[in-house]
Amino acid sequence: MPYGPLHPLACSQAAFNSFSHNVFVNYDCRVSQVEEIAAKVPISGMVFDKFDGDLCPQLKGWQNGVSHYEALPLGYGWFTPDFEEAAEYLRHWNAFYTVDRESPKSWPLVVWLHGAGEGGTDPTVTYTGNNVVNLSSTEIQHKLGGAAYILAPQAPTFWMDSGRENRDDFEEMYSPVSKYTKALKALIDEFVEIHKNIDRNRIYIGGCSNGGYMTMRMITAYPEYFAAAFPVCEPYLASAITDEEFEGIKNLPIWFTQCAKDPLVPPETSVLPTYRRLKAAGNDNVHVSYFEKIIDRTGLFKNSDGTPYEYNGHFSWVYVYTDECIYDLDGARVMHEGSPVTLWQWMGKQHR
């Protein structure tokens, strides 16, 4: 069976509702064996036509909920880390490097904001879409300091929705107004209040595309709340950031991710001028991982000529999930206290 993003029988299936949201579909098929399998007793004539259940180990620790903000409750998915595994990891780490560091009593929170396609009323889509569940992988959890909560809120429409009536109005689409700003902040506050062992000085926020926009909206609206931000292919217009809002974020640790060939988000109107403005203001902890193109690095997906498959240039979130963001805009490795770091290693070292 051919395998790859262009072969629908061998990759994830998706459908879109009237709002262009991803939704789950029942995917029934019948697989019949057409060639004999050589063995002591040859195997032939097998038919598979019954669904035996989903199998996704990466969903361990994830569950769904709804906020209690009366004006606009939001659904969300969240991941609870394995604190015992994290404590054991830190004990081994301390023993190996002969250091004496106690296991923390509080842990960071990563808020991930989805793109336009993952909005709706099923929070499961927010973390099963793309590869968001990799944020709960052991590798990235350890890079965040051993363990971290992951919170994935869901917008019923999309984060850039200002509540306007004319959805075709370009200026309204890219306005710095989202009807979800207060509702999202209320959700995060509620989640932190419920989970007492979240470190309020280590709350990180990021997201892709629409979620990158909302990341910028949240840090400009609540600049003192977050310890760091990681906007990905964010379309928030640099010209929309007022002088007052800029004062609030000019010293905030921020790591942008962007592709030069992004067909939807021109970096010259968003990330690049915002980055330059922050650097000019003296922020020495702002970074941009800037890619010429987005290609598959797993070796699984290839073009017909054997070269790595090239994704749409908007898909720069691919490198965020796989923690391949390591270089700054000038091509130099991002450093922290004299050592090179990846995006997630850097994130785990940021404190408010």
- As beta bridge partners, residue 31 has 48
The domain tally of the chain equals 1
Q: What is the pLDDT of residues 163-184, one digit of tens each?
A: 877 666 666 677 899 999 999 9
- Give the mean pLDDT of 3-22: 63
CA-angle at 10, arms to 7 and 14, nearest 5°? 80
In Å, what is the CA distance from 128 to each residue of 63, 78, 152, 161?
A: 12, 12, 11, 23
Query: Of 231, 234, 227, which is closest to residue 192 (Cα–Cα)?
Result: 227
- The rounded distance, in Å, linking the Cα atoms of 10 and 300 is 12
Q: Has residue 20 been placed in a domain?
A: no
Q: Has residue 91 been placed in a domain?
A: yes
According to DSSP, the β-strands at 198-208 and 228-232 are: parallel
Q: Has residue 11 been placed in a domain?
A: no
Q: Has residue 6 been placed in a domain?
A: no
Range of the domain at 313: 57-347
Q: Has residue 38 been placed in a domain?
A: no
CA-angle at 270, arms to 184 and 187, nearest 5°? 5
Q: What is the pLDDT of residues 320-336, one digit of tens each?
A: 999 999 999 999 999 99
- The rounded distance, in Å, linking the Cα atoms of 339 and 236 is 31
CB 151 within 8 Å of CB 110: yes
- The rounded distance, in Å, linking the Cα atoms of 272 and 239 is 11
- As beta bridge partners, residue 258 has 290
Q: What is the pLDDT of residues 92-146, one digit of tens each?
A: 876 666 555 667 889 999 999 999 999 999 999 999 988 999 999 999 999 999 9
- The rounded distance, in Å, linking the Cα atoms of 141 and 58 is 13
Question: Distance between the two ends of the chain, CA-based, in angstroms?
Answer: 50
Question: What three-state secondary structure class fits 259?
Answer: strand
CB 204 within 8 Å of CB 192: no
Which two structure tokens, joined as six digits, stand for 225? 């709340």
291 has a pLDDT exceeding 90: yes
CA-angle at 216, arms to 62 and 292, nearest 5°? 85
Q: Has residue 321 been placed in a domain?
A: yes
- The rounded distance, in Å, linking the Cα atoms of 266 and 309 is 23
Q: How does residue 1 score in pLDDT terms, banded at 50, 70 and 90?
A: low
What's 167's domain CATH number?
3.40.50.1820
pLDDT of residue 208: 98
Q: Has residue 26 been placed in a domain?
A: no
> Whose structure tokens read 């003192």?
224
For the CA atoms of 331, 334, 337, 338, the dihedral, rounded to the nearest 10 degrees, stands at: -40
Residues constituting the chain: 352
Q: What is the pLDDT of residues 56-86, one digit of tens each?
A: 889 999 999 999 999 999 999 999 999 999 9
217 has a pLDDT exceeding 70: yes
pLDDT of residue 12: 54
CB 114 within 8 Å of CB 21: no
- The rounded distance, in Å, linking the Cα atoms of 210 and 339 is 32
Query: Of 239, 233, 225, 223, which is closest to residue 256 (Cα–Cα)?
Result: 233
SS (H, E, C) 282-348: CCCCEEEEEECCCECCCCCCECCCCCECECCCCCCHHHHHCCCCCECCCCCECEECCEECCHHHHHC
Query: What is the widest separation between alpha-carbon atoms in the chain?
Result: 77
**High-pLDDT (> 90) share of the chain, %:** 76
According to DSSP, the β-strands at 107-113 and 198-208 are: parallel
Question: What three-state secondary structure class fits 102?
Answer: coil
Q: Has residue 24 been placed in a domain?
A: no
CB 271 within 8 Å of CB 234: yes
According to DSSP, the β-strands at 149-153 and 107-113 are: parallel
229 has a pLDDT exceeding 70: yes
Q: How does residue 28 score in pLDDT terms, banded at 50, 70 and 90?
A: confident
